[in-house]
Structure 1
């Protein structure tokens, strides 16, 4: 049986690993007009939510945001500093925190299934993040909300691919290393034969 102190250490390690994953996935970016680049960091955010759940996942994102705030180049394209929190991507960064909570609530509500994982990644990792990001981007750039939302559709195909990848990776991880998901035993619903 593990002690509470040991559990806290494991939780902190999980948070640190996913914060590092989010940072690493931001090293390759494709800049776009409008100030919001295409990056794989949202895959890291989705994975944090699916694996860490609604309590630990936001801590991983907050750790990345704190590191960015103190000036470390941990965001897409090596950006960091307080300026990122007043730029066009600020809403998306805040959306990451809320998104991981929603993902975790959906995925960890009951047994981890492929459809619940996919639903969590799409709702929390795309819809919630866009709900925060698009209005802030429109405000910062001084553009109406409708054209900003329309221009954000360029991200949707990639984000849907990231949601699919997060689903596949999460289900593979739950089978290969269930302790990554924390204290509670993780059960994957068996696939039904056709």
Structure 2
């Protein structure tokens, strides 16, 4: 592994942690707040690809598991991994691999948008509401309805992540031309 890869992974983990310190917004219908960390997961997937993105997200999740307060609202520890929001965290673990695989060598804007919506929005939300329904007394229907409230914000966060990814890729290509 190159020094550049290690640095990019470390920076991405830091970005995901920083996004967790932006206060979560409770929505009331289900015990899952609106957070910005999923935007960091999508950014890791887009910017670092399936291998390094998975390493960054895996390191972040491992830090949360061992008790570092890196999750939204300063949470962390093993209890979070059996709580109502754990399904989202488990989905985060596989998101970089899935999204990175769909985008491998395919950089058309339409394809990026579709893959990001499919994996970064729909897959994460479905895994989250399914876990929520299985581990709480909330019916699957109510969990899905609650999960629908996340879609506009998640689409916006995905759009920001895609725009940032495309801009950074342009800058990287420009820097390569200057060499």
TM-score (norm: length of structure 1): 0.83
Which 4+ residue blocks in structure 1 deviate beyond 6 angstroms? none
Deviation at 1:58, TM superposition (A): 1.4
Counterpart for residue 109 of structure 2: 114
- C-alpha offsets along residues 57-109 of structure 1, whole Å, 9 cap, x if unaligned? 11111111111111111001111111110101101001012222121112223
Secondary structure (helix, strand or coil) at the match of 2:48 reads helix
Deviation at 1:117, TM superposition (A): 1.9
Deviation at 1:9, TM superposition (A): 2.4
Cα distance in structure 1, aligned partners of 2:83 and 2:173 = 39
Q: Over aligned residues, Cα RMSD in angstroms? A: 1.7
Cα distance in structure 2, aligned partners of 1:128 and 1:11 = 27
Whether the 8 Å CA contact 1:106–1:119 is kept in 2: the answer is no
Whether the 8 Å CA contact 2:13–2:60 is kept in 1: the answer is yes
Out of 48, 51, 55, which is 1:59 matched to?
A: 55
Counterpart for residue 83 of structure 1: 79
Counterpart for residue 69 of structure 1: 65
Higher helix share: 2
Counterpart for residue 35 of structure 1: 31
Deviates more, 1:31-40 or 1:88-97: 31-40
Cα distance in structure 1, aligned partners of 2:95 and 2:173 = 23
Secondary structure (helix, strand or coil) at the match of 1:177 reads helix
Cα distance in structure 2, aligned partners of 1:53 and 1:40 = 20
List runs of 5+ in structure 2 lacking aligned partners.
Answer: none
Out of 144, 157, 181, which is 2:139 matched to?
A: 144
Secondary structure (helix, strand or coil) at the match of 1:39 reads coil
TM-score (norm: length of structure 2): 0.90
